[in-house]
Chain A
Amino acid sequence: MSTVSWITARGLFGRRRFLMLLPLPAVLVLLAVLCRSLGVDPGEWASPVLVGLGLAVVLPVVALIVGTGVLGAEIDDGTVVHILTKPLPRWQIVLPKLAVAAGVSAVTVAVPLYVAGVLADSVRLGLALAAASALGALAYSALFLALSLVTRRPVLLGLVYVLIWEGLLGNFVSGTRVLSIQQWVIALADRMAPTALLSTTVSVPVAVVLIALVSVGFTVLAIDRLRSFSVAGETS
């Protein structure tokens, strides 16, 4: 474990505000257990819990808070200078931070989704959801990490993507779903464990290619942006 990833992990876990992330997965598990124990048909509750809460809210929001937090918080504080002045290649700064962000988001999201998937259908669905959401966490983290280097307001821009692009347009204009990480994750999970509970219009090969493209592309962009990064004061 490199020093950069160690610092990043400490920056994430060292504050009390990390506890803010815990209610989201907890609610997910709680609702799944509640529905299961009351004997509601999984066909009815799986969609709002797994997709509506898990993949559409918990995954992007956790990835947004963590992904913009690993580098964006340091840029805000100005402490990023300490890392930038060390004789490190830029990829050795971006990759460990991405690894920590993706790892933390993946664990935070995949575990409750696994539990909910098992309660909804089978262990296979649970594993499929966990694996797909881990891949999704990687793609989201790469996107939000690159955003925090491209703009000074990464969280708001990330919210525009999550709320307006995926949430609002994804519901009304089906064409935008091809470019939605959420739909790719659903497609992958559905492919790994075919059930009637998940459905999407995006085909699996497209999802695989695009998710890889987004993960790699935005990482490369982040490394490139960090090469010519200028430290400025807080925006007005």
Chain B
Amino acid sequence: MPEPTGVIHDIGYQRYTGPRLGRRHVFGALYGHGLRTVFGLGRSAKAKIFPWLVVGIVTVVAAGVTAVRSQLGQVVMTYAQFADAMSWLVIFFVAVAAPELVSRDLRSGVLPLYFSRPLPRDDYALAKLLSLVSAIWLLLGGPQLVMFLGAAFTTPDGLRGTWNELLDLLPGLLYAGLWAVVFAAIGLLVASLTGKRAFAAGGIVAVFLMTTPVVGVLSILPSRAVNELAYLASPSTLVGGVGTWALGDLLVPADQGGGIPIGSFGPVYAIVAVLLVSACTALLLLRYRKVAAR
């Protein structure tokens, strides 16, 4: 066998000599890009329709609630109840956003390009998850801020009233964060299973909607323990259960029934929520190990 005679000619391309940013910057760029993708920023008008439809509806509802409160002095819903009331819209938002974040990359086969950068497999999935969590939190937190501003500027008690209002707002924002983490973890896992945005959206909605009636059935079974544990079956009532246990009266005023009747099973709800989120995240990371290996 003769010696290979081929040579690589230097045809004068310039090499990049500037600073090379590391892993943190890749993660940050991916996170920022994900957050923009969810709201359709930097993309065509068509991509903005559905996310901003949801944002518009929740903002209008918050403005309406604020107006009623400032005019009639009647508190329609607390900050935390606002998140509960918007649960269907949050489901729709996840069904819009999660496929947009992960399914497009799977379908167009650009993952090898991402993973050819100094970007560990897990970072990709975690950055996407983090941007979905932030997006849902902004979706729920923004209107709460509107409600807070409305209440703060119309309060008759001056600065003290504003301070009390702020103390009400913070648990509400915390609760919205809980919603965001649980819904983003489940939604992104379902979306990462398929490259077709249509099927991903259908699957996410099916998973979330299917579980709600299960709670309705379990809570009428003839066993008190089962009734009190029934709310574990659906993500939205699971979040409600954790909120009732952790925030108590801050979540729902006692004169309005005091949240979800979970009995003394509060810690169970918290543990299940943590397990659910970590299991979904672990499965998501596992999924991307497999996808990346292809």
Partners in one complex: yes
The count of chain A contact residues (Cβ–Cβ below 8 Å) is 42
Cβ of B114 within 8 Å of any chain A Cβ, yes or no, is no
Please name all residues of chain A whose beta carbon is closer than 8 Å to the beta carbon of B216 when the two chains form the complex.
Answer: 48, 52
Q: Is the Cβ of B50 less than 8 Å from the Cβ of A156? A: yes
Please report whether the interface of chain B is mostly helix, strand, loop or mixed according to DSSP.
helix
Q: With a CB–CB cut-off of 8 A, which chain A residues contact B201?
A: 155-156, 159
User: Which of B28-36, B85-93, B129-137 binds A?
Assistant: B85-93
B279 nearest CB across to chain A (Å) = 18
Interface pick from A16-24, A82-90, A128-136, A223-231: A16-24
- A107 to B201 CA separation, bound complex (whole angstroms): 23
- Stretch in B158-166, B192-200, B241-249 touching the partner: B192-200
**Of A57, A152, A159, which contacts B213 at CB under 8 A?**
A57
Chain B residues with CB below 8 A from A52, complex form: 212-213, 216
Supposing A24-B210, A34-B217 touch, asked if A156 and B88 sit within 8 A by C-beta, the answer is no
Query: Which stretch, B18-26, B40-48, B270-278, touches the partner chain A?
Result: B40-48
A69 to B197, CA, bound (A): 12
Interface residues of A in 115-148 (CB under 8 A from B): none
Indicate with 1 or 0, residue by residue over A85-111, a CB within 8 angstroms of chain B CB atoms: 000000000000000000000000000
- Segment 149-198 of B: residues with Cβ below 8 Å from A: 194, 196-198
Q: How far is the CB of B162 from chain A (nearest CB, A)?
A: 32
Q: Which residues of A contact B213 (CB under 8 A)?
A: 31, 48-49, 52-53, 56-57
B92 touches A153 (CB 8 A): no
- Cα A73 to Cα B46 with chains together (Å): 19
Main SS of chain A's interface residues?
A: helix
Candidate in B89, B92, B197, B209 with the most chain A CB atoms within 10 angstroms = B209
A residues 152-208 with Cβ under 8 Å of B? Answer: 152-156, 159-160, 162-164, 167-168
Q: In this assembly, does B220 line the interface, its C-beta being within 8 Å of a C-beta of chain A?
A: yes
Rounded to whole Å, the gap between the CB of B229 and the closest CB of chain A is 15
Q: How far is the CB of B233 from chain A (nearest CB, A)?
A: 10
Q: Does B266 contact A (CB under 8 A)?
A: no
Q: Mark A16-42, 1 if CB is under 8 A from B, else 0.
A: 010010011001000100110011100
Tell me whether A2 is interfacial, beta carbon within 8 Å: no
The reply to whether B206 and A24 contact each other, CB–CB distance below 8 Å, is yes
- Assuming the contacts A23-B210, A57-B209, A57-B210, asked whether A17 and B220 have C-beta atoms less than 8 A apart, the reply is no
Instruction: Determine the chain A residues whose CB is within 8 A of the CB of B206 once the complex forms.
Output: 20, 24, 57, 61, 65
A49 touches B217 (CB 8 A): yes
**Nearest 9 A-B pairs (CB), nearest first?**
A48-B216, A53-B213, A52-B213, A155-B198, A65-B202, A57-B209, A236-B44, A155-B201, A44-B220
Name A residues whose Cβ lies closer than 8 Å to a Cβ of B: 17, 20, 23-24, 27, 31, 34-35, 38-40, 44-45, 48-49, 52-53, 56-58, 61, 64-65, 68-69, 72-73, 76, 152-156, 159-160, 162-164, 167-168, 235-236
